[in-house]
Structure 1
Amino acid sequence: MKRFKFLASLILIGILSFSNTYAKQFSEQSEVSLLTCSPGEDIYRHWGHSALRFHDPLNKIDLVFNYGTFNFNTPNFYTKFIKGKLMYRLAYESYRDFLPEYMRSGQGVTEQKLNLDLETKRKLFAAVIENYKPENRYYHYDFLFDNCSTRIRDIIEDNVEGKIIYKENTNESKSFWNLLDQFMERSRWVYLGIHLILGSPCDVEATPYQYMFLPDNMMFAFTNATVLNNGERVPLVSHTKEVLKPTLDYKMTEWYKRPSFIFGVLSLIFLLISIRSLKSKRNYFIIDHILFGVTGLVGWVIIFLWFFTDHQATGPNWNIIWALPFYFPVANILLSMKNKASYFFFFASSLLLLIVLSAWSIIPQSLPNEILPIVALLFIRSIYIVKKLKLKLI
């Protein structure tokens, strides 16, 4: 296998050195295909993957190019990743090496052979090779607008003769959230996390053309697409086949492991503790130090992703109206002081949280309902603190 990879690398180096000449020698037997990988279990596989295959048996070429690669050895990798500054790149591997990864993960692979003439195949191949040059292969990845799928779509559109016409369903209307959520139903914790860090840009209605940021949607769009050239329309895809059948057994999150159930039970327990402690001298303020502290930290993460990163979809984020950053450390400090400032802070907090709970369904962002028990608990504990401090200050 290592020998095969070495030989493939030597072949590609030769291609890069004489890309235009080599592309012109692309034979009549050559094929260009869109490869679509079905969603996987790991979070980075949740939405599937797209790649472009160039197969020329006469010239012994069978390479797969994809735009979804990044280098873990990049200096300050995690910092750049979080800030949205990590450069993704075009990478390649042999078709022989490409398939085993998806066999192991249980993902399916569908191949759509593109209905392109020889000159267009050569032109597209030369464009991809040009794109692979060190000075061209890196780009700023954007989850919604510039990713492994849209890059392939764009390079095909740029090199095909004529114009690609996509069939649009005019009766369909979906936001980016609608498109994303269908892939997160099986993992409610992933659903919750994504809905916390992404903001209102995801509530914007996506155009059918924008649907193609998801690999499956691009595959469906290519299936019904035609190429219009000199008044003649031909199908973009000549043949579709299932290379690998998906074998992954998707397991839905068990009901007792879902955030809505866990948060609901915790809120009920703390509600009972609050009612009981109102009748006693015990305060259980340790609960509030943890609850408001963690909520405040969530708020600071939202602020950071909104204002201090290059991610386009993380702000504005209306989750900030319940996950107030001031809860950490202000709430913790005021809980320790137990004075008038503490009283008015938590009184204001209870009013704000009451408004948030009352207006939850009309807030201009799809906030995760899984977090409602926590918001309700914040409200209950704010009221509890106000009552306790009122008795103390009288």
Structure 2
Amino acid sequence: MQRFKFFICLLLIGIVSISNTQAKQLSEQSAVSLLTCSPGEELYSHFGHSALRFHDPLNKIDLVFNYGTFNFNTPNFYMKFARGKLKYRLAFSSYQQFLPEYIVSGQGVTEQILNLDLDSRRKLFQAVIENYKPENRYYHYDFLFDNCSTRIRDIIEANINGKIIYKENTDKPKNFWNLLDHFMEQSRWIYLGIHLILGSPCDIDASPYQYMFLPDNMMYAFADATVLNMDERVPLVSHTKEVLKPTLDYKMTEWYKRPGFIFGLFSLIILLISIRTLTSKRNYFIIDHVFFGATGIVGWVIVFLWFFTDHQATGPNWNILWALPFFFPVSNILLIMKNITSYIFFYTSSILLLIILATWPIIPQSLPNEILPIVTLLFIRSIYIIKKLKINLV
């Protein structure tokens, strides 16, 4: 109850604060800054964060706006989140309220003071206030194309005098995986999970402008950008300062905790069991009920994300070639029946899995190599089941 009262008080203070702010014009002493927060350990903070700060000591304004929040009390929250229908929203806090979260998490915060004339600062401030109105503050979040970074970039571009000119990128083009993998190299389970749920759209080359969906990349782009206004060209960023130094100690996942090692060890154990029991009377199909069933469930998750959500990056997803949805429950039923249909099913599956293994490097998607031991084991167990069924059918 005390926490609830405290939350209500903060909410009321915020409403009063933003209501009072709407009537104010930024003074000559005002400044607008892009705040870039370094990546954190939690999945939601793994790629960093962007926010927009308005500081005006004369009017006693020091507010931070960000587009990366959502309402946990939304009806059917988890289903809407999974289907990409959960609306994110613009939120604000005081600068003093903004920093403690990043101090606790060990994330760094870099502030870039934007080199904007007074009229641009005022226009941008009023645009953000307008955007905060209840009818405007919600939007459909898209991880790659419409997120907490791109929203800030877009509102700045639309409300300043002149045009922002970004430095031409002469480096080799990068696809979205090239951009994302840098943030996931040390957390191999997150790397695997993201590579399983996102599909071939991430293999498409991104334009340098699209690089800015990642907060760090937008910070780098702003640092090199200029504003062209009436034949005058000035740097977009007047100066940069490190508000908080990152203290988070990123550690590579220990080798024995990585999915590649764990899946490899698991596959080796099941392989040895398969060899040992191949000529015995017992079939040990309980392993396959669990193994093929779990793989099929992964396949159905891929189907759901591909065909039944609004996420642009989750389909087509060619992980479905090995995580065949009909493994669950079809394989479970056929393992119980143990008839000629079962034999044909697993014989066909073994051929498909062999083709997938042989063509793995040329499949038009960056499939995670950590999952190769699992795909190989699916093939081996398919052969095992065929051998066992053949004995029973003779």
Scaled by the length of structure 2, what TM-score is found? 0.97
- Give the aligned residue type for 1:99: L
Give the secondary-structure state (helix, strand or coil) at the position aligned to 1:309.
Answer: coil
Shift of residue 168, structure 1, vs aligned partner: 2.5
**Paired AA for residue 29 in structure 1:** Q
The Cα offsets for residues 196-224 of structure 1, whole Å up to 9 and x where unpaired, read as 11100000000000000000000000000
User: 8 Å contact 1:5–1:94 — kept in the other structure?
Assistant: no
Classify the secondary structure of the residue corresponding to 1:139: strand
Deviations 1:97-138 (A, max 9, x none): 000000000000000000000010000000000000000000
CA distance in 1, matches of 2:288, 2:113: 59
Alignment correspondent of 1:13: 19
In the alignment, the residues of structure 2 paired with residue 7 and residue 255 of structure 1 have an alpha-carbon distance, to the nearest angstrom, of 49
- Corresponding residue for 1:369? 369
Deviation per CA, 1:347-368: give whole Å up to 9, x if none: 0000000000000000000000
Contact 1:174 1:206 in 2 (8 A): yes
Paired position in structure 2 for 1:378: 378
Alpha-carbon contact 1:224-1:235 (below 8 Å) kept:
yes
SS in 1 for 2:184: coil
How far is the alpha carbon of 1:232 from its aligned partner?
Answer: 1.6
CA distance, structure 2, for counterparts of residue 5 and residue 241 of structure 1: 30
Tell me the residue number matched to 1:84: 84
SS at match of 1:53: strand
The count of corresponding residues between Structure 1 and Structure 2 is 388
Task: Give 1:14 shift.
Answer: 2.1
Helix, strand or coil for the counterpart of 1:58? coil
Does the 8 A contact of 1:48 with 1:214 survive in 2? Answer: yes
* 1:289 counterpart residue number: 289
1:150-165 matches, cutoff 5 A: 150-165=150-165
Query: Structure 2: how far apart are the matches of 1:170 and 1:359?
Result: 33
Q: Residue 7 of structure 1: CA displacement? A: 4.5
User: For the structure 1 residues 335 and 162, does the alpha-carbon distance in structure 2 shift closer, same or farther, using more than 3 Å as the test?
Assistant: same
Question: What's the Cα RMSD here?
Answer: 1.2
SS at 2:55 equivalent: strand
Answer yes or no: is the 8 Å Cα contact 1:175–1:206 preserved in 2: yes
Q: Does 1:340 align with 2:346?
A: no
1:321 match: 321
Q: 1:54, 1:63 within 8 Å by CA — same for their partners in 2?
A: yes
After superposition, residues 256-335 of structure 1 pair within 5 angstroms as: 256-335=256-335
CA distance in 2, matches of 1:79, 1:5: 27
Unaligned runs of 5+ in 2: 1-5
Alignment deviations for residues 60-81 of structure 1 (CA, whole Å, 9 cap, x no partner) = 0000000000000111111100
For 1:111 and 1:367, how far apart are their aligned partners in 2?
A: 37
Q: In structure 1, how many angstroms separate the alpha carbons of the residues matched to 2:35 and 2:364?
A: 37
Q: Which residue of 2 aligns with 1:192?
A: 192
In the TM superposition, residue 284 of structure 1 has moved relative to its aligned partner by: 0.9
Following the alignment from structure 2 to structure 1, what is the Cα–Cα distance between the partners of residues 14 and 238? 28
1:168-206 residue CA offsets vs partner (Å, 9 max, x unmatched): 222221110111111011111111111111100000000
Task: Name the aligned partner's letter for residue 165 of structure 2.
Answer: I
Cα distance per residue 1:115-165 (max 9 Å; x no partner): 000010000000000000000000000000000000000000001111101
For 1:393 and 1:283, how far apart are their aligned partners in 2? 14
d(CA) in 2 for partners of 1:6, 1:345:
63
Q: Report if the CA contact (8 A) 1:30-1:55 is conserved.
A: yes
Alignment match, 2:29: 29
1:310-349 per-position Cα deviation (integer Å, ceiling 9, x unaligned): 1111000000010000000000000011000000000000
With the length of structure 1 as denominator, give the TM-score of the two structures: 0.97
**Once the 2 structures are TM-superposed, how far is the Cα of residue 279 of structure 1 from its aligned partner?**
2.2
Q: Is the 8 A contact 1:305 1:311 kept in 2?
A: yes
Equivalent residue for 1:178?
178
Residue of structure 2 in register with 1:219 after alignment = 219
Aligned to 2:203: 203
